[in-house]
Amino acid sequence: MTPSKDLKKHLRKEALARRDALDEFWRVEIALEMAETARDQIAVEPGQIVSGFWPMRSEVDVRPLMFALREKGARLCLPAILDKTTIVFRELVRGAPMVEMGFGTVGPHEEAEVLDPSMMLIPLAAFDARGHRIGYGAGYYDRAIARLADKGLTPRLIGIAFDCQEVAQVPDENHDVIIPEILTESGLRRFTPEL
């Protein structure tokens, strides 16, 4: 492993330990508060495609937030893992079958329509004040965002985390996608891109 990868692994482990230590009932309350923040501060056009994610382990439960965006007219989708390197975003339709996706998460059945989101709610393990993120190490989101860019699409990226997941600085790597906005219990934070 490179020094950068070692440091990322260490920062990920520490941030996830802090997140895991949060009271589970507090996390539920915060998820509801974050949904209210999203309803008030995140504009959605009717029919706009928004990707969320099914929470795993101690992640922020974004289901209330996704519901709030659906109430504003969003068309929702969730990531579906196709193989060890690829996710696509399948439409989340009320009452449609859900299937296990691995990693303790679920997603829409393979018959669901594959969509290209114009807004992505992105899970993360850690982030810094520049909008750099550490994911879970598999690179699914970095590759999915790159594929959208190859199609000429630039979705609005909003990381979802708790404040305790912030670290002093995430090591930079060329393939990393910078997240210009992060929603935590403190509100929606916007980061100025570095020049």
72 is in an annotated binding site: no
12 is in an annotated binding site: yes
- Joined together, the tokens standing for residue 80 give 């579906």
195 is in an annotated binding site: no
130 is in an annotated binding site: no
Check if the beta carbon of residue 143 is closer than 8 Å to that of residue 88. Answer: no
Cα–Cα nearest to 188, from 119, 140, 139, 142:
119
- Measure Cα distances from 136 to 9, 16, 68, 103, 161 in Å: 9, 10, 26, 11, 13
Distance CA 20, CA 184 (A): 15
140 is in an annotated binding site: yes
Distance CA 3, CA 99 (A): 38
- Joined together, the tokens standing for residue 124 give 């993360």
Helix (H) and strand (E) counts for the chain?
A: 4, 12
8 is in an annotated binding site: yes
Cα–Cα nearest to 92, from 125, 115, 122:
115
Distance CA 87, CA 81 (A): 4
49 is in an annotated binding site: no
139 is in an annotated binding site: yes
109 is in an annotated binding site: no
42 is in an annotated binding site: no
14 is in an annotated binding site: no
SS3 51: strand
Residue ranges at the known binding site for substrate: 59
Residue ranges at the known binding site: 8-12, 59, 133-141
Residue ranges at the known binding site for ATP: 8-12, 133-141
